[in-house]
Structure formats: structure tokens, C-alpha cells
Amino acid sequence: MQSLITGSLSLDHPSVTFADACGILGALSNVKNMELLFPCDVAGKSSLQSDMQSCRVVFSNLTTLSLSDWCLHGNCKALLYFLEHSPNLEELTLKMRKLGFHDHLDWFPTAAAAGTDSPCKETEKTFDCNKLKKIEIICPKHDKRVGMLVAILLAKIISSPEISIKPF
């Protein structure tokens, strides 16, 4: 789909599952603008994250990316994948939702995610995101995930983009 400029995938129901994540990501590989928004408890989230690691899709044309907080699970594995595989990314928006009573607080299971002790290979790497100029984090007021997220981003991105935090 080389002529596709903007791709948006928004799943509002947690019972939706992913099938063939590599096919979905491959179809979106040439987009310039991408938005992947869905609940953290969407079935198959871990399947999407592991498929991302195995299919190795590169988003060469991607300049604007918007993700919801599903990408923060597992030491930000999915988020870091996009940073590594989007060499022309200029703007990143992270839309974090309010945590509900039943939400698990396993966003960053190891404090080592920002350090070198992490068992996750993706978090051990640093990325030269020299075209990334702006990261916008839209989050609930006093969200404790934001501090760790910013620490991980600053530890993993060689160039220093502007980071804007917009609480709601």
C-alpha cells in the first residue's frame, strides 16, 4: 500500500483480538502519519508486541506517530520498537488513559528499564532519533507512570527532543 499516507487503527473494545500483526504492520509500513489507539487490555496485545519483534517492519516514511498507553507495557517494548524502526519520525504523541480500579500497575515491571540491567533486548539499545523534534505526553494529572516514561525516553534517545507533558 505505497499510496497510503495516513493509517489509523482504533480499537474500543477489549475483546477484539489481533490476527496477523505482521500483515497489519506491513500494510501500514509506508504511511506518513499513524495512530494506533486501543485499550491496554485488548486481547492479543502481547501477540502484537511479540509479532512486532519478529516481523521487523521498518516505517521509513513515518513522520507523525500517535500511540495510546498499550505501548508502555513490558518496559515500553512496543514504543521502543517504533522509535528504532521509524528513522524519519518527527513527532510522537502518547495518549495515556486514567487507570481504573481493575487496571494492573505493571506498566514498568522492572525499574531497570531505564538502565542496562533490563532483560529486554529492546530496552538495552539506544536510538539515534535525530529527526524526532517533539514528544507530547497527554496524561491524567499526577500520573506516576510519566516520570518513569520520561526517564526511559531520555535514556534511550540519543538526540534530545522537546518533551511536553499535558495533563488532563
Q: What is the pLDDT of residue 17?
A: 56
Residue tagged 509479532 (cell numbers):
51
Q: Name the stretches of the chain with pLDDT < 50.
A: 109-122
Q: Are 140 and 168 in contact (CB under 8 A)?
A: yes
Q: Give the residue among 79, 57, 56 at the shortest CA–CA distance from 68.
A: 79
pLDDT of residue 87: 96
Alpha helices in the chain (DSSP H): 21-27, 45-55, 73-84, 121-124, 145-156
Write down the domain spans for the chain.
Answer: 6-167
pLDDT computed for residue 70 by the predictor:
84
Q: What is the DSSP string of 51-120?
A: HHHHH----TT--EEEEEGGGGHHHHHHHHHHHHT-TT--EEEEEPPPP-TT----SSS-GGGGSS--S-
pLDDT for position 23: 76
User: Is the pTM value of this prediction over 0.85?
Assistant: no
Angle between helices 73-84 and 145-156 (to 10 degrees): 40
What's the pLDDT at 120? 40
Q: Output phi, psi for 128, to 5 deg.
A: -90, 85
Amino acid identity of residue 133, one-letter, is: K
- Cα distance between residue 30 and residue 52, in whole Å: 16
| Cell numbers linked to 92 | 510522537
Burial of residue 105, with CB atoms counted within 10 A of its CB: 0-12 exposed, 13-18 middle, 19 or more buried: exposed
Q: Scanning the structure block, which residue is given the C-alpha cell 499513524?
A: 34
The per-residue pLDDT for 135 is 98
Query: 122: which strand partners?
Result: none
